[in-house]
Amino acid sequence: MEKTRKLHIGWLVTAMVVVLLIIDQWIKLYIKTHFCLGESVRVTDWFFIEFIENNGMAWGMSFIGKFWLSLLRSVAIVGLIWYLHRIIKQGTYRLLYIILVAMVLAGAIGNMIDSLFYGLIFTASSPYYVSYMVPFGDGYAPVLMGKVVDMFRFPFFSYTWPDWVPFWGGQHGTFFDPVFNFADACVSVGIIALLLFCRKELEQLGGDKDDKKDEKGKDDVKDKKDKEDKNNREEVG
């Protein structure tokens, strides 16, 4: 019964990751092949579809070179897959926690697909023409060097700093101006939900080693006591 439950959870998580990846890639492929670089479509005053590309992590952040970032992302994905398999196999974690970890994994894989393949199968994006697919390997960049496609922008409101504010006085700004994609949203929503609703499971991440130390300590005490009892019996004998 328990084995069947774990199997069902494994298939559920796999299906969820696949569905999220299909949604992410469908959106990116549509934007990539229908928008010029920098093209923007106004949906509402606070929501725009705007095509940009970036070399970095979620929300366009970048701290290291593209190649090393892609390698780091690959290692993180492998680690997440291993961890997800482990917590499903253990069978002691809530389904909510497992689903949220899988959501983060799906987002990481979604952006990794861009880095792996988009440079191999697309022409370079341009403000003057729409990118199109080419034979595999004839694209604008080698493997792991493809750019991540972003498209969602939510400029909730604009503001102007008062003239008396040092450095920024008189400058215009927009609240929440980053452009992101569906995969970024999966990662962000997953992490925020984990922090809000899965504190117990997150605390256990650092507690496993302590539990093992406690168990080892108890075993050492038990072995020592058994040895003393054995020596006492030999002395009596």
Mean pLDDT of the chain: 87
150 is catalytic: yes
Phi, psi of 144 (to 5 degrees): 75, 0
Exactly one of 114, 150, 220, 223 is catalytic; name it: 150
Tally the domains of the chain. Answer: 2
Indicate which residue of 184, 210, 211, 219 is catalytic. Answer: 184
222 pLDDT tier (thresholds 50, 70, 90): low
Question: pTM for the full model?
Answer: 0.81
Query: Does the annotation mark 211 as catalytic?
Result: no
Q: What pLDDT sits at residue 217?
A: 54
Three-state secondary structure string covering the chain: CHHHHHHHHHHHHHHHHHHHHHHHHHHHHHHHHHCCCCCEEEEECCEEEEEEEECCCHHHCCCCCHHHHHHHHHHHHHHHHHHHHHHHHHCCCCHHHHHHHHHHHHHHHHHHHHHHHHHHHECCCCCCCCCCECCCCCCCCCCCCCCEEEEEECCCEEEECCCCCCCCCCCEEEECCCEECHHHHHHHHHHHHHHHHCHHHHHHHHHHHHHHHHHHHHHHHHHHHHHHHHHHHHHHC
| Within a domain: 98 | yes
Same domain as 187, residue 221: no
Range of the domain at 224: 209-237
Q: What span, in angstroms and rounded, lies between the C-alpha atoms of 195 and 1?
A: 31
Interatomic CA distance for residues 118 and 132, integer angstroms: 11
**Are residues 177 and 233 located together in one domain of the fold?**
no
Phi-psi region of 137 (alpha: psi -120 to 50; beta: other; left: phi over 0): left
Please determine, for residue 78, whether its predicted confidence score (pLDDT) is greater than 70: yes
pLDDT tens digit string along 118-153?
A: 999 999 999 999 999 999 999 999 998 999 999 999
Q: What is the pLDDT of residues 22-67, one digit of tens each?
A: 999 999 999 999 999 999 999 998 999 999 998 765 555 555 677 7
Q: Based on the domain organization, do 232 and 180 belong to the same domain?
A: no
Q: Are residues 19 and 69 in the same domain?
A: yes
Give tens-digit pLDDT for 153-209: 999 888 888 888 888 888 887 877 889 999 999 999 999 999 999 999 998 886 655
pLDDT of res. 159: 82
